[in-house]
Amino acid sequence: MNRIWWIVAFAVVAFFIVSGVNTIPTLDEKVNASWSQVQNEYQRRSDLIPNLVETVKGYANFEKSTLTDVINARANATKVNIAPEKLSDPQAMQQFEQAQGTLTSALSRLMVVVERYPDLKANQNFIALQSQLEGTENRIAVARRDYIATVQDYNIRVRTFPGIIWARLYGAQPKQTFTATEGSDKPPAVKF
């Protein structure tokens, strides 16, 4: 009887070690950290926009509606935040993506308008801001890619054996990831 007890105890301990009792919380924290980095990059972009707008304003008296669209899109994008607890909510993720997509679209229209002002394009402040904004967009893409990979690892773990057992014990749900914006598979039309 004593030997059976040791075998059962060893099997239970082995199960905990093999299945990784800490894997789900560890992966959940990685997802949260990746999400924080995505938000950090979006905040960086949001912080750059007022400087970009003021620089453009100072050099060009252009279409007021474009400037208003950028300002409004930035304000709306900063209103929509997703707490780490809501990363499993597809509607929250969709709202976030829509707000950021609107801002991206407004910035694209601003850059097209700027093309009409050669003096502005040659201004060092504008060139530096444009470079910062381009770099920020690249950083956003990298942060989103890293988030997607982290969510993939997490979702695989909570949907497969033995992680599914721990996921149920912890109440862990699969997390939402980014999806391509409708029409993003087509290149934008650039007209000069």
Does 190 have pLDDT greater than 60?
Answer: no
The distance from CA 144 to its chain's CA centroid, rounded to whole angstroms, is 5
**79 to each of 52, 96, 100, 132, how far by Cα in Å?**
20, 9, 10, 23
Alpha-carbon torsion (100, 137, 107, 124), positive or negative: positive
Domains and CATH numbers, the chain: 17-170 (1.20.1440.20)
Per-residue model confidence as pLDDT tens digits over 65-120: 677 778 888 888 888 888 888 888 888 888 888 888 888 888 887 777 777 776 66
Whether the predicted model's global pTM rises above the 0.85 cut: no
